[in-house]
Chain A
Amino acid sequence: MDATEIGLWGVPLAILGGAIRVSTPFIFVSLGEAITERSGRINLGLEGTLVFGAMTAYGVAVMTNSPWLGLLAAALAGLCFGLFHGWICKFRGVNDIAIGIALMLFGSGLAFFFGKPFIKPKAPNLPAISFGGWSDIPQVQAALDVNVLFLIGAVLSVILWWAFRNTRAGLIVRVVGDSSDAARAMGLNPDTVRLLATGVGGALAGIGGAYLSLYYPGSWTERISSGQGLMAVALVIFARWNPLGCFAAALLFGGAGALGPALQSVGVTQGYYLFYAAPYILTLIIMIATSSPTRSLAGAPGELSITK
């Protein structure tokens, strides 16, 4: 086989490569949202945080010439957005979903405003580690160039999964999320726990944004996110608030998103709009298959405003 001709093998390869390349922002935003929702709050503003994180990371990386400082700045910016959401939501009668939508618009708008001067300059990218050295096919090598953030995200999802079950901090978050009254009886302050959980969730979403602007696709434009932050929030419900599920769902979405371009590239050109809808059709099918009229959503935190 000619090294440049991989034919139909391009499709599974593109799905694999796409899963690795595209999924990282989904992983970080959905893990962040999982922490927040486990504590009993929904932060829909993560789309805004993602865009603002992308802008901050790119801007700081351009100015300091260090992608790592950009990443740090994005995480800090995300933390601020999360803490802001958590702080407002502790007041009586405040609806966390409404605040989330407000912050989503605010974050995007602020990112557009401050991001103007950074559309043109070029920022240094985050490094990737090559796992494709064993293969002499360039396409395989390219697909297996894995960014460090993807690996961190994978490790983080395992750690979170373990921590929710086995650590004191994980237990506290879950108790607060399942019953404020029980948490208060234990001497915990639900507002503080939720404030911190939303803050951490925001910081993770900021990191997801940094991946978008500093690695893939790797530039700052105002339409860089195209709704990925919102989809990641939906993924959390899809993953039943389980960090490992979030990771798997993110991979699935990334891979399914690569299906459309990959099929066109091997000559399956009819009905590409349908292939672009693949991730959503897949979600619908799984949601229908796993839903039940006789019980509520398995794993849903009891304090979530959508399940209460």
Chain B
Amino acid sequence: MTDRFMLTRRQLLKTSAVGAALGLASASFPLSRAFAATATVGFIYVGPKDDYGYNQAHAEGAATLKGIDGITVVEEENVPETVDVQKTMESMINLDGASLIFPTSFGYFDPHMLAMCKKFPDVQFRHCGGMWDKTKHPINAGSYFGYIGMGQYLNGVVAGHTSKTKKLGFVAAKPIPQVLLNINSFLLGARSVDPTITCQVIFTGEWSLAVKEAEATNALVDQGADVITCHVDSPKVVVETAAGRGAFVCGYHANQSPLAPEKYLTGAEWNWAKVYKMFVDDLTAGTPLPNFTRGGLADGFVKMSPLGPAVGEPARKQFDATLAEMMKGGFAVIKGPLKSNKGVVVATAGQAFVETAIELESMDYLVEGVVGSTA
């Protein structure tokens, strides 16, 4: 027990270093007060930031911060969802002086970001994906996400008008709630045009598997699907393969129309610029950052790609009308009577789940009309 009160040489050095740092910090305090609006913001991506997909959407948002006075943006790409991301966060904090960090990939949250939250209580962390829970997680952590299922519903509306075979295709990564909601929304959007439409889904099992995504797209087109969309990290391969086979495509994450200008109908895109601007404004103003942020089309978190040249007049009309209705708020994609494709009732007549409904975040079913299985 005695050694508990003894100071090792290492501890002594550590303590004095902290003391010196504190002294320095207090000495420079008046100076930093004078430039209150300076801050360094860190962004971490799981893949390359020009992947025409998930990471590009975040990087485009980050890029809009670079023009703001006093804001320095630091970024790192291709950071795996391992202890590597902890090292990246530490170096952003210690070397670049980041005071706000956005680890954007799903798998960064637990345990990596949570560990860093405990280690650096003065730094703010906001994670994309929406898993923050007041009762479980530290107060300097938080999460943000958008209701992009609405965008997939609009994709479905256009797809429903465009499809001649009445069969749509969906290349999906993993059967998690966000992906299932997108698949269901896409089909229900199409069924709002023609209730006989079906949607074939193929799960590849991984967020990024170029060859398997291409094979899945080919298999869907072989089975007669003539409008394809997807939920994978980089839709580039799916869009190019589908267009190469002569099918139409709806985009996801970012605008992929340059990849297939003739075949691209529209796409559900993230608009992270708005979200990041909001966080940074709070940071520079000195107001506490929100811990739990959500928004959809009406809030500007999600936007649609401009309609492509293949979109006909009836499709355009219904697209505009549906979008206008969504902008008013309270639009429900999942509303009764609705069954899953296994015949289980998921919404009774009169029951409706609006985009903010918490039930949607634990979705574990595919609706009637989707050909596919969650396991």
Q: How far is it, in angstroms, between the C-alpha of A224 and the C-alpha of B213 when the chains are bound?
A: 11
Contact with A along B83-104 (1 / 0, CB 8 A): 0000000000000000000000
Check if B78 is an interface residue, CB within 8 A of chain A: yes
Q: Pick from B51, B204, B215 the residue with the most CB of A within 10 Å.
A: B215
B341 — nearest CB in chain A belongs to which residue?
Answer: A269
User: In the complex, what's the smallest C-beta–C-beta distance from A260 to chain B, in angstroms?
Assistant: 8
User: In the complex, what's the smallest C-beta–C-beta distance from B112 to chain A, in angstroms?
Assistant: 20
Check A262–B51 contact: CB distance below 8 A: no
Interface of B is mostly: mixed
A-B contact count (CB 8 A): 127
Contact with A along B244-285 (1 / 0, CB 8 A): 110000000000000100000000000000000000000000
Q: Which residues of B contact A295 (CB under 8 A)?
A: none
Check if A264 is an interface residue, CB within 8 A of chain B: yes
Contact with A along B46-57 (1 / 0, CB 8 A): 011011100000
How many chain B residues touch A (CB < 8 A): the figure is 41
Which residues B165-181 have CB closer than 8 A to chain A?
Answer: 165
How many chain A residues touch B (CB < 8 A): the figure is 45
B220 — nearest CB in chain A belongs to which residue?
Answer: A265
Q: How far is it, in angstroms, between the C-alpha of A226 and the C-alpha of B204 when the chains are bound?
A: 13
Check if B237 is an interface residue, CB within 8 A of chain A: yes
- Given A218-B240, A261-B219, CB of A223 within 8 Å of CB of B372: no
Check A223–B47 contact: CB distance below 8 A: yes
Contact with B along A159-179 (1 / 0, CB 8 A): 000000000000000000000
A137 — nearest CB in chain B belongs to which residue?
Answer: B222
User: In the complex, what's the smallest C-beta–C-beta distance from A117 to chain B, in angstroms?
Assistant: 9
Check B203–A272 contact: CB distance below 8 A: yes
Check A217–B214 contact: CB distance below 8 A: yes
Q: Which residues of B contact A265 (CB under 8 A)?
A: 200, 202, 216, 219-220, 222-223
Check if B209 is an interface residue, CB within 8 A of chain A: yes
Check if A124 is an interface residue, CB within 8 A of chain B: no
Q: How far is it, in angstroms, between the C-alpha of A222 and the C-alpha of B240 when the chains are bound?
A: 17
Check if B38 is an interface residue, CB within 8 A of chain A: no
Check A22–B211 contact: CB distance below 8 A: yes
Q: Which residues of A contact B212 (CB under 8 A)?
A: 257, 260-261, 276
Q: Which residues of B contact A7 (CB under 8 A)?
A: 223
Q: How far is it, in angstroms, between the C-alpha of A272 and the C-alpha of B48 when the chains are bound?
A: 28
User: In the complex, what's the smallest C-beta–C-beta distance from B84 to chain A, in angstroms?
Assistant: 14
Q: Pick from B47, B51, B214, B222 the residue with the most CB of A within 10 Å.
A: B222
Q: How far is it, in angstroms, between the C-alpha of A60 and the C-alpha of B148 when the chains are bound?
A: 38
B213 — nearest CB in chain A belongs to which residue?
Answer: A217
B239 — nearest CB in chain A belongs to which residue?
Answer: A219
Contact with B along A123-144 (1 / 0, CB 8 A): 0000000000000000100110
Check if A158 is an interface residue, CB within 8 A of chain B: no
Q: Which stretch from A13-21, A71-79, A146-154, A193-201 is at the chain B interface?
A: A13-21
- Given A5-B224, A269-B373, CB of A217 within 8 Å of CB of B48: no
B246 — nearest CB in chain A belongs to which residue?
Answer: A138
7 more CB-based (< 8 A) A-B contacts, given A14-B215, A119-B51, A261-B215: A13-B222, A119-B50, A142-B221, A212-B211, A257-B212, A265-B216, A265-B220
Residues of chain A touching chain B, judged by Cβ–Cβ distance below 8 Å, are 4-7, 10, 13-14, 17-18, 21-22, 112, 116, 119-120, 122, 139, 142-143, 212, 216-219, 221-224, 226, 228, 257-258, 260-262, 264-267, 269-273, 276
